[in-house]
Structures are given as structure tokens and as C-alpha cells.
Structure 1
């Protein structure tokens, strides 16, 4: 059986309420420069080209990470 997990990519984005950045996962192969999208964890966020510091400083979204791990393990 050939099982390939759904494609996703990560991008640092600001929280719509606080402006604090986090690295969120998004469905798809890559960011296509759209201005907004919904994260794997269900948050609608604005998107823009991140700086190197955004990548370094933004923590990984735990909920996106847990969701993807759960999907990989077949528990969705």
C-alpha cells in the first residue's frame, strides 16, 4: 500500500488579534503568495513574505503540529 500523507507547508504568520508571530501549517505544496489562508489549526491569518528573523523567532504552532501528527498516525 502506497500511503503518502497530505501535503502541507509551514509559514510564520501573525496572530490576527495580538500580532504575535507563530509558524503555522497550511494545506498544499507551497505558499502561492496568497494574502490570507486558513491554518491547519483553523485560524484565518494574513500572509506575507516572512523575514529570516520571523522564521527564527516564531515558535511552531503546537495545535498545527499535533493535528498533522494525528493525521499521519491515522487518528483523524
Structure 2
């Protein structure tokens, strides 16, 4: 199996699971939840991080949609 085949398989798996931005948003949410659970961050920090990551996710999807509409091809 070549490195290109492995890379293609990984990309297919990431796309099947929702894409890079979705996985990063979920990962950040899980990490922040664990940190809050163990008392390493407070509720205000938790809310700010979740709000920021969800906002970044929404913005990334909006930008992707605008680029797709202009070019007709998904970036």
C-alpha cells in the first residue's frame, strides 16, 4: 500500500465523519468539557471557548458556501 493510498483512505474517512472543521469543533468541545469537568477551567471560559469554536465552524461553512457558489466547485 502506497502513501497516496493511505492518505486517500484517511481523507475519505475524515469526509465521511463530517469534515475537518466539524471534527476539530467536536474535539475542542470534548476537550473543553473534560477540562471544565475536572475544574481546570471555569464556566465562563467554557462558554467562551464553545461560543468561539461554534462561531468559527459556522463562519467556515458560510465561506465555503460562498466560494462554492462563485466557482461551482467545492473547495
TM-score (norm 2): 0.29
Structure with the bigger percentage of helix: 2
Greater relative contact order, per chain length (Cα 8 Å cut-off, separation 6+): 1
TM-score (norm 1): 0.29
Structure with the bigger percentage of strand: 1
Larger Rg: 2
